[in-house]
Amino acid sequence: MKFVLSSMYALGLAGLTFNRKHLLSALLCLESMMLTLFMALSLWVLTINSMNFASSPLLLLAFSACEASVGLALLVATTRTHGSDRLSNLNLLQC
């Protein structure tokens, strides 16, 4: 099971490093990495059989939902201002 979770995280990281053309693909790779961390944390809580860390997966899921909403807001804002979500068109020195 550790191999599956590690490979899922590595695939998300590889997708983030190699697919840097569009902002939406980068956000999807980040979301897959967060989902992998959520599954790993949930399985870890189940294996230690402790109620002290039972709310940790829900907290991580809430943070990943906030990250997704902020990412989509940035996607909409950059699409409105620059006309596309291509990362090569974004010049941070130009306002």
- Amino acid sitting at position 56: S
Question: If pLDDT is split at 50, 70 and 90, which confidence band does 14 have?
Answer: very high
- Span 58-77, pLDDT tens digits: 888 899 899 889 989 988 98
Residues whose CB falls within 8 Å of the CB of residue 33, separated by 6 or more in sequence, listed in order: 9, 12, 13, 16
Query: d(Cα 4, Cα 13) in Å, to the nearest integer?
Result: 14
The model carries a pTM of 0.80
Q: Where are the domains of the chain?
A: 2-82
- Which one is predicted more confidently, 89 or 40? 40
Domain 2-82 is of which CATH architecture? Orthogonal Bundle (1.10)
User: CA 37, 9, 67, 22: dihedral to nearest 10 degrees?
Assistant: -170
Query: d(Cα 31, Cα 25) in Å, to the nearest integer?
Result: 10
